[in-house]
Amino acid sequence: MKVARHLFLVLWSVQIIYAQKTAVPLPYAATKTDTSKLAMVVAPHPLASQVGAKVLRKGGNAVDAAIAVQFAMAVVYPRAGNLGGGGFMVIRMNDGQTNALDYREKAPLAAHRNMYLDSLGNPIPRLSQDGHLAAGVPGTVAGLLEAHRKYGRLPLRHLIDPAIKLAAQGFPISEAEAARLNNTQEAFRKFNTRPSAFLKPQWQAGDLLVQKDLAATLIRIRQKGAAGFYEGKTAQLIVQEMQRGKGIITLEDLKAYRPVWRTPLIGQYKGYRVISMPPSSSGGVALLQMLQMVEPFNLEQYGFHSTKAVHIMAEAERRAYADRAEFLGDTDFYKVPIDSLLNPTYLKRRMADFQPDKASASTSVGAGKFQLSKESFETEHTSIVDVQGNAVSVTTTLNSNYGCKVVVGGAGFLLNNEMDDFSVKPGVPNQFGLVGNEANAIEPGKRMLSSMTPTIVEKDGQLFMVLGAPGGSTIITAVFQVLLNVVEFGLDLDTAVNAGRFHHQWLPDQILIEENALSPEVRKELEAIGHKLQQVRYMAVIKAIQKLPDGSLLGVGDPRNPDDDAEGL
């Protein structure tokens, strides 16, 4: 290891940095809102949304465009776009058929439930977040190729070539990306065993980011499909990286990885049909729980961001997240009681102790009880509707900014730190403050629980909305609130996405509130009835498309991410 580290420092000192300062303005700009009669792509970066739109113009469908956007995001949005992570895709075809693809990362076969604990049984700080041991087996490449196998219309080369070109030729980075790369240099140097395209003494806006190793990896995927990543040279590079950094992902882990088609969760809310992601995502269950818990209340009459409405919604969020901590995990390993969690009688009982003039205490709420039958913020989301009316909602992640900070030597892509999304120890919070128990304990080959909530909504049997977000634990509540902003409070989609948000996740017992959310009067009234408030700068970042009454599509990116871009045809 000392020899490897010494070699790394030598290579770092003499490496060729594939970046140069440009004096010209950036050749791309984000459009936050766009309309179209034909099709729409909303993605976290203009270069990626442009790739998706071009695929649609070539005759590709929404799934083709989603795949192309994801490959492009692995190049232009390295802090969250990825080949080394995983995600979820919810699909609604124009005939109403739905499907959900789970390509969440898995725990390596050598993983075990106490792998992040010291000899006294206490979690070792950041061991599940930083470095090689934090990485789960990547699912992104397998997931995208499986979606293409089942639904794709264009040849794979048309979907991956734009990403190869962006990686090989480079693109000028934004000021925000330069700042993130600069802030991560110390971690890159600490946790990497080989030089990478991201290492540089000082990044500036306009610098050209060229990723030759990543381009070569993408070419192998184009040539050999999944075997170009999970076998052969790329797989060998991953395992060699693991060996240098004392990680545990093996060739066997990579070759054994498979994505899973799952039945979407579908629920009703006042005439709207909500289609969302089942476990190993917690998003669909929690979203449908919260919607059903607030449905009996007249939120429209109470008013947008009124004390009554916020109180009711926060109490529903509190209860849903308590259930999340106790009952949700990978259904391939744990019998998640989905039917019970979404049972109307159960959810009515969950709100039976709700008091309109008093906040509940999370210590007294806990998870619900029923008779069991013998069950990053740095993420990225894309919403797409094509010319035929097919819709895709896809969320993918590395978990933290730049994942575990490890770039696979010679392959050019970052690895995730999704192992932190397991319950490292029952009742101990992860980096987002979420707690979990046995349902989400570490087991070899198991998928860790996620908050990603890709969602599609119908009204009167027709497509109505496609939405989702990055944002760690705040994803679910952001989707919940933006949907209610439109269907209950009558906000147009642009205003609904821009509006300030609030979030309660059971533990810690507080409501997070964005700086521009809730009036001083409402805040005082919430505190008067017992809520603890904690202000934050911003939370989840929604990307949404709404089908308007005249049949046109309104695409909206979120101002919380300067690069969010809506691209209509």
Which residues are registered as beta bridge partners of 407?
Answer: 414
Residues in the chain: 569
| Cβ pair 516, 14 in contact under 8 A | no
The closest of 176, 195, 105, 177 to 398, measured between CA atoms, is 105
Residue type, 300: E
Quick check: helix, strand or coil at residue 413?
coil
Residue type, 35: T
**CA pair distance 238, 245, nearest whole angstrom:** 11
Between the alpha carbon of residue 347 and those of residues 312, 316, 325, 370, 452, the distances in Å are 14, 10, 16, 11, 22
Other beta carbons within 10 Å of 141: 29
Tell me the CA end-to-end span of the chain in Å, nearest whole number.
53
| Cβ pair 546, 464 in contact under 8 A | yes
Residues in Cβ contact with 36 at an 8 Å cutoff, skipping those fewer than 6 apart? 552, 553, 555, 568, 569
Residues in Cβ contact with 372 at an 8 Å cutoff, skipping those fewer than 6 apart? 335, 337, 340
Query: What b/e string do you get for 94-108 counting C-beta neighbours within 10 Å, with b at 16 or more?
Result: beeebbbbbbbbbbb
SS3 content of the chain, % helix, strand, coil (to 5): 35, 20, 45
Tokens representing 194 are 């080989």
| Cβ pair 19, 200 in contact under 8 A | yes
Between the alpha carbon of residue 88 and those of residues 69, 346, 434, the distances in Å are 14, 28, 20
User: What is 218-256 written as a DSSP string?
Assistant: HHHHHHHTTHHHHSHHHHHHHHHHHHHHT----HHHHHH
Between the alpha carbon of residue 223 and those of residues 52, 333, 484, the distances in Å are 21, 34, 45
| Cβ pair 319, 350 in contact under 8 A | yes
Query: What b/e string do you get for 341-358 counting C-beta neighbours within 10 Å, with b at 16 or more?
Result: bbeeebbeebbeebeeee
Strands 511-514 and 533-536, sheet pairing: parallel
State the catalytic residues: 379
Tokens representing 369 are 């009880």
